[in-house]
């Protein structure tokens, strides 16, 4: 599966959250992941639609990654939508070039999650505010995958950021459906391919193997529990 991350941010170099996300995509990952920053590729704002359409065709999962200013994307991504997702390519007669692909959103949001609900400071949920993107996926026959919303990155602890890193990498590379089981498999695969010498501790190999064992033991226990519950219901 190939993933295209389309990033739009008016000042991407100054954005600590965008830099954190971009740098988390390792060279190994980049075999199947393309990071595409619109403001870097098109500093004058003139978009090469033919190039962009060719790029889209080569990928299976398309992610829009941007700061959620005024409940939408920065202007350059909107320009990209209007100029690249044209009739006969993305919709309309013979416009099936995106059909069957996945569309996801990676939103960085400055306000706390709890405010995005009725009675909260923002008053509307992310599900309500992203309707235009859901409608876009629908019209272009893409599957809309649930957004990855990153609330208040600046206030996150080191541990929260590490968790975010894993969540983000899974969002970019994990095959659907996104379940605990597939996330476990993904994690074991990642641990097995981790270059031991990149880790700053003596017993790195031991800890990695211990962790893999732990995940596998947990899985066996969970499967057993499920079996018992299923039997109980029969």
Query: Which stretches of the chain bind a second copy, using CB under 8 A?
Result: 10, 45, 69-76, 78-79, 81-82, 85, 122-124, 128-129, 131-132, 134-136, 138-139
Q: What Cα–Cα distance (Å) separates residue 39 from each residue in 45, 70, 92, 99, 105?
A: 7, 19, 29, 27, 18
Nearer to a second copy, 7 or 25 (CB): 7
Nearer to a second copy, 114 or 163 (CB): 114
Task: Provide the minimum distance between the beta carbon of 8 and a second copy in the complex, in angstroms, as a whole number.
Answer: 10
Q: Is 88 left (phi over 0), alpha (psi -120 to 50) or beta?
A: left
Nearer to a second copy, 20 or 71 (CB): 71
Q: Which residues of the chain form beta strands (DSSP E)?
A: 3-7, 33-37, 61-67, 102-109, 143-144, 148-151
Nearer to a second copy, 91 or 171 (CB): 91
Nearer to a second copy, 124 or 186 (CB): 124
Q: Determine how many CB atoms are found less than 10 A away from the CB of residue 61.
A: 24
Structure tokens at 212: 């893999």
Cβ 141 vs Cβ 99: under 8 Å: yes
Task: Provide the minimum distance between the beta carbon of 83 and a second copy in the complex, in angstroms, as a whole number.
Answer: 9
Q: Determine how many CB atoms are found less than 10 A away from the CB of residue 91.
A: 19
CA angle centred on 47, ends 56 and 141, rounded to 5°: 30
Residue (of 23, 86, 24, 21) closest to 52 by Cα position: 86
CA angle centred on 137, ends 181 and 21, rounded to 5°: 55
Task: Provide the minimum distance between the beta carbon of 22 and a second copy in the complex, in angstroms, as a whole number.
Answer: 21
Task: Provide the minimum distance between the beta carbon of 20 and a second copy in the complex, in angstroms, as a whole number.
Answer: 22
Task: Provide the minimum distance between the beta carbon of 81 and a second copy in the complex, in angstroms, as a whole number.
Answer: 5
Nearer to a second copy, 85 or 172 (CB): 85
Task: Provide the minimum distance between the beta carbon of 90 and a second copy in the complex, in angstroms, as a whole number.
Answer: 10
């Amino acid at each position: 599966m190939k993933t295209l991350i389309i990033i739009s941010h008016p000042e991407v170099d100054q954005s600590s959250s965008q830099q954190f996300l971009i740098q988390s995509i390792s060279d190994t990952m980049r075999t199947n992941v393309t990071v595409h920053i619109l403001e870097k590729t098109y500093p004058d704002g003139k978009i090469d639609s033919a190039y962009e359409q060719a790029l889209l065709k080569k990928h299976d999962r398309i992610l829009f990654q941007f700061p959620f200013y005024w409940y939408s994307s920065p202007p350059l991504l909107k320009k990209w939508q209007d100029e690249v997702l044209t009739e006969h390519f993305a919709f309309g007669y013979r416009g099936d070039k995106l059909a069957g692909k996945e569309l996801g959103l990676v939103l960085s949001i400055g306000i706390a999650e709890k405010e995005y609900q009725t009675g909260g400071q923002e008053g509307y949920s992310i599900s309500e505010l992203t309707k235009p993107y859901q409608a876009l996926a629908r019209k272009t026959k893409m599957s809309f995958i649930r957004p990855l919303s990153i609330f208040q990155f600046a206030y996150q602890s080191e541990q929260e950021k590490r968790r975010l890193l894993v969540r983000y990498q899974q969002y970019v590379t994990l095959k659907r459906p996104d379940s605990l089981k597939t996330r476990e498999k993904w994690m074991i695969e990642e641990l097995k391919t981790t270059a031991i010498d990149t880790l700053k501790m003596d017993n790195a190999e031991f800890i990695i193997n211990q962790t893999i064992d732990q995940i596998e033991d947990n899985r066996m226990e969970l499967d057993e529990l499920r079996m018992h519950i299923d039997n109980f219901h029969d």
